A and B are shown apart, each in its own frame.
Chain A
């Protein structure tokens, strides 16, 4: 693990490539453990890395030594995320790229839906927008290039595929992903104690609510 300061108040801990689910699992456990420590303000899990936010520092050496030590003595099996099923309305107005994606893969829209709902995905991290999950586990047979012309506004709740990734947009935003469906399930609810539906370490399964072709 390589630890480098990024500011007066934060260090990033980077694991050697490639990013694997095993390494990511260790990072969730590490984040979970560090969050219990009193002087650590925030911990953010990235892809194959983790950032620790503290109060301002004038010397990083003791912190880096401490993090290295904690990482070596880390016990991993303690952290278990939640499993969440997300109902998706495939196709239709907000999933208008479903047919194009099917054409790209030379199969039927139903086949795309079957492939997309088959795996159990893992939330590697949350970032970009409140509650936006970086999901691992998209089958290679669904990897699809992003749209040549990104949309200026992708509606909130859109379920899409961008390259080797799949995910859900919690908020409307510009985006270049292929939209294959949408969900009414709120990914972000400011009234909840944990305001996001998903957290790093959770597992996700997409289920068909309806198909609109």
Chain B
């Protein structure tokens, strides 16, 4: 069992997400950086979809009430285990009574605290992911709070200390043109790919709001409500793009200029508030190649872990 001693951020339990329920208006949720979550789980010999604690930017302190293997992936957190510094993308063993502190993310936005066997959280609608708005999953569908006690499915320590290559962060995110791309002016199409977009502080798990050039439609477009998804780039009338993130509502009504490719959704999630990034166009074949690259990374972790059991 792990106990939350202090928490200063909107930390939640997340797995890969809640699928197949969009027709009922139920969001997918799940980890913002699914690749980092999968990497952390594989490093511990867990299934990819095992629930972990997602910690955005700020901090959390937890006490281990049992000996267990753990790791933190995703954002590069300044961390200590009983005041000794420890590092992201490394597998450690905690002894009962030790205190783990994630002070703050130095690089990136979302850290994943994974434990061997995963947290023992009941699935709701086929996922442990916390949906704060629909009050589903996690601990009663809410963010973690001081005093929360999290049971684990600890199934034995992994004795060797092992580290893996961290997922590189990037300032260029790959995207595909989306359904209303042609409805934007030529200049706006150009600006979408050429502008440096700055991530605004009012961004969250539902949407990343960027500021840069103003994106205009050729002529006003009457859009009726339609399905949207993690990665859709919506442009509301103020011309500033909002990229829908893991907690995206299922339907929306704004024109979509682009869609961030699946392989880069994690990298997008790790963009820090106030940072400027750029988008670059790829085609479907390149998008597939980049997904495959992520799979290879995960396969490599699997093989390292198999050797070090």
Q: B21 contacts which chain A residues (CB < 8 A)?
A: 195
Chain A nearest CB from B230 CB (Å) reads: 9
Interface size class of A (residues with CB under 8 A): 35 or more
Question: How far does the Cβ of B170 sit from chain A's closest Cβ, in whole Å?
Answer: 19
Chain A residue numbers with a CB within 8 Å of B261 are 8
Query: Does residue B25 face the partner (Cβ distance < 8 Å to A)?
Result: yes
Q: Quick check: is A206 within 8 A (CB to CB) of the other chain?
A: no
Report the count of interface residues on B (CB-CB < 8 A): 38
C-alpha gap A10/B172 in the complex (Å): 23
Q: Are A195 and B224 in contact (CB under 8 A)?
A: no
Instruction: Give the CA-CA distance A188 to B287 in the complex, in Å.
Output: 37
Stretch at the interface among B79-87, B146-154, B190-198, B249-257: B249-257
Check A188–B134 contact: CB distance below 8 A. yes
* Cβ–Cβ contact A44 & B26, under 8 A: no
* Nearest chain B residue, comparing its CB with the CB of A197: B24
Q: Do B25 and A12 touch across chains, with their CB atoms under 8 A apart?
A: no
Q: Is the CB of B227 within 8 A of A41?
A: no
Partner of B25, one of A17, A53, A126: A126
**How far apart are A14's CB and chain B's nearest CB, in angstroms?**
8
User: How far does the alpha carbon of A126 sit from the alpha carbon of B135 in the complex, in Å?
Assistant: 18
B262 with A9: CB separation less than 8 A: yes
For B25, B135, B259, which residue has the most chain A Cβ atoms within 10 angstroms? B25
* CB interface residues, A 128-156, toward B, < 8 Å: 128-132, 134
Cα-based distance from A4 to B21 in the complex (angstroms): 22
- Within the assembled complex, what's the spacing in Å between the Cα atoms of A1 and B232? 22
Point out the residue from A10, A14, A57, A127 that lies within 8 Å of B251, measured CB to CB.
A127
Contact with A along B20-52 (1 / 0, CB 8 A): 111111110000000000000000000000000
Residue of A nearest to B23 (CB): A44
**How distant is the Cα of A59 from the Cα of B135 in the complex, in angstroms?**
38
B251 A7 Cβ-Cβ under 8 A: no
Q: How far, in whole Å, are A27 and B256 apart by their CA atoms in the complex?
A: 22
CB distance A200 to B23 under 8 Å? yes
Q: Are B226 and A46 in contact (CB under 8 A)?
A: yes
Query: CB < 8 Å: which of A7, A31, A47, A130 contacts B134?
Result: A130
The answer to whether the Cβ of A171 comes within 8 Å of any Cβ in the partner chain is yes
Partner pick for A42 among B20, B176, B284, B288, CB 8 A cutoff: B20
Which A residues touch B226, using CB under 8 A? 12, 14, 46-47, 49, 51
The residue of chain B having its C-beta at the shortest distance from the C-beta of A31 within the complex is: B23
* Residue B218 lies at the interface, judged by CB distance under 8 Å to chain A: no
What is the bound-complex CA distance between A15 and B202, given in angstroms?
35
Bound: A53/B227 CA distance, A = 10
Is B133 at the interface (CB under 8 A from chain A)?
Answer: yes
Q: Does the CB pair B20–A41 fall under 8 Å?
A: yes
**A183 contacts the other chain (CB 8 A):** no
Closest to A46 in B: B226
Complex: chain B residue closest to A7, CB-CB: B259
Does any Cβ of B come within 8 Å of A125's Cβ?
Answer: yes
Interface centre among A44, A127, A199 (most CB of B within 10 A): A127
State how many angstroms separate the Cβ of A59 from the closest Cβ of chain B.
7
Query: Could you give, for residues 150-186 of chain B, a 1 whenever the CB lies within 8 Å of some chain A CB and a 0 otherwise?
Result: 0000000000000000000000000010110000000
Chain A residues closer than 8 Å to B136, beta-carbon distance: 190
Enumerate A166-198 residues with CB–CB distance to B below 8 Å: 171, 173, 188, 190, 194-196
- B224 to chain A minimum Cβ distance, whole angstroms, is 4
The verdict on A6 contacting chain B, using a C-beta distance below 8 Å, is yes
A129–B133 touching, CB < 8 Å: yes
A8 vs B176: C-alpha distance in the bound complex, in angstroms?
8
A58 within 8 A of B: yes
Cβ–Cβ contact A131 & B125, under 8 A:
no
Contact B25 A130 (CB under 8 A): yes
Q: How far is the CB of B161 from chain A (nearest CB, A)?
A: 36
Contact (Cβ within 8 A) B134 A126: no
Q: Is the CB of B229 within 8 A of A10?
A: yes
Q: Do residues A199 and B179 form an inter-chain contact, with CB atoms below 8 A?
A: no
B232 touches A6 (CB 8 A): yes
Residue of chain B at shortest CB distance from A57: B284
Residues of B within 8 A of A58 (CB): 284-285, 288
- Answer whether residue B95 sits at the interface, using C-beta atoms and an 8 A cutoff: no
If A129-B133, A190-B124, A199-B24 are given as contacts, then 7 extra A-B residue pairs at C-beta distance below 8 Å, sorted by A number, are A8-B261, A8-B287, A10-B229, A46-B251, A51-B227, A127-B25, A195-B21
The 3 closest A-B pairs by CB, nearest first: A127-B251, A51-B227, A47-B224
12 contacts between A and B (CB under 8 A): A7-B262, A44-B251, A45-B23, A47-B226, A49-B226, A126-B25, A127-B250, A128-B250, A129-B133, A130-B25, A130-B26, A171-B135
Binding site for B on A (CB under 8 A): 4-10, 12, 14, 17, 19, 31, 41-49, 51, 53, 56-60, 125-132, 134, 171, 173, 188, 190, 194-196, 199-200
